[in-house]
Chains A and B, each alone.
Chain A
Amino acid sequence: DVKVTQSSRYLVKRTGEKVFLECVQDMDHENMFWYRQDPGLGLRLIYFSYDVKMKEKGDIPEGYSVSREKKERFSLILESASTNQTSMYLCASSLTASSGNTIYFGEGSWLTVV
């Protein structure tokens, strides 16, 4: 069974703080993703990575960066958190580059920026 684990489920951070959200998958998946989920806006892609040290911007990358130093781990970084980044963040992974592979999501990280 695929497991995508997000280390922090609930975080409260102050405006201007640097925030790290960590994600680990245990199925040797090549692709990893960070989505943001907001009520009424669905799931929006922030960044994705199709290989170690490779990354591409999604639809809403502003204010975020990512790091993928190892295949199983994909980190989302908020360099200077702002209140409009209060949201639920979902990490996901998929197996290979061929089209239409199932994306498996983590449980989500609820981030509140005050």
Chain B
Amino acid sequence: GENVEQHPSTLSVQEGDSAVIKCTYSDSASNYFPWYKQELGKRPQLIIDIRSNVGEKKDQRIAVTLNKTAKHFSLHITETQPEDSAVYFCAANSGGSNYKLTFGKGTLLTVNP
């Protein structure tokens, strides 16, 4: 089955700096890669996603890049703010499945004012 590795497990940055979180996946049939943000005590919520026919996608201060050849994708947050502090999860759909997402273990991002 699919295996998703996520690094780093914790990341601390100063307000205004950029943050990058990286994920690798194992299943070459995966074609959908969402990122979820989970604030303390709250539910995970989708912040951005990318499909395999696209190499990069941006939404204001966040962007995701995908390298299908190397089987890795990354989340980039620019001009970080304290409200960006949360746990971020990457995911990939298993075997091109229409239903099943496999998640990484999460990255705790702390943005220091």
Contacts and interface: CB of A to CB of B under 8 A. Distances in A.
Contact of B44 (A40, A50, A58, A90): A90
Contacts of B51: 100
Q: How large is the interface on A (under 10, 10 to 19, 20 to 34, 35 or more residues)?
A: 20 to 34
A45 interface: yes
B89 interface: yes
Contact of A44 (B46, B97, B103): B103
Q: How large is the interface on B (under 10, 10 to 19, 20 to 34, 35 or more residues)?
A: 20 to 34
B45 interface: yes
Contacts, number: 60
A28 B51 CA distance: 25
A41 B99 CA distance: 21
Nearest to B30: A99
Contact of B98 (A90, A99, A107): A99
Interface of A: 4, 31, 33, 35, 40-45, 48, 50, 56, 58-59, 90, 94, 97-100, 102-103, 105-108
24 contacts: A33-B99, A35-B103, A40-B105, A41-B105, A42-B6, A42-B103, A42-B104, A50-B99, A59-B1, A90-B43, A90-B44, A98-B98, A99-B32, A99-B93, A99-B96, A99-B97, A99-B98, A100-B31, A100-B34, A100-B49, A100-B51, A102-B46, A103-B101, A105-B45
Given A44-B103, A108-B43, 11 more contacts: A35-B103, A42-B6, A42-B89, A42-B103, A43-B44, A43-B91, A45-B101, A90-B44, A98-B98, A103-B101, A105-B43
Interface of B: 1, 6, 9, 31-32, 34, 42-46, 49, 51, 89, 91, 93, 96-106
